[in-house]
Amino acid sequence: MYTKNDQIDKMMSWEEGSLSEVEEIKLFSELIKNGAAWLFQGCYGRTASDFIQNNIISRKGEIFVNLNEIYD
């Protein structure tokens, strides 16, 4: 779980395109869990929805994929 400042830093890194795939999944898992994915600009909600629709993250923010099998 990220602190508020860590989460903001991760969000800024995501917007810059500098997160790995694993970091992106972890970030969006947290954003879905705390509801923030639905509060920020549309790209956050769309990305969260994509992760949910592709069975990568649940509607509750649980990660369905094995992050150890993702090669960044």
Confidence of residue 13 (pLDDT cuts 50, 70, 90): very high
Residue of higher predicted confidence among 72 and 40: 40
Range of the domain at 33: 4-69
CA pair distance 36, 67, nearest whole angstrom: 22
- Contact by Cβ (8 Å): 29, 61: yes
pLDDT tens string 33-44: 999 999 998 999
CA pair distance 44, 54, nearest whole angstrom: 15
Q: Is the pTM of this model over 0.85?
A: yes
The total domain count for the chain is 1
Q: Which amino acid is at 65?
A: V
- The tokens describing 11, both together, are 């969000």
Answer whether residue 71 shows pLDDT above 80: no
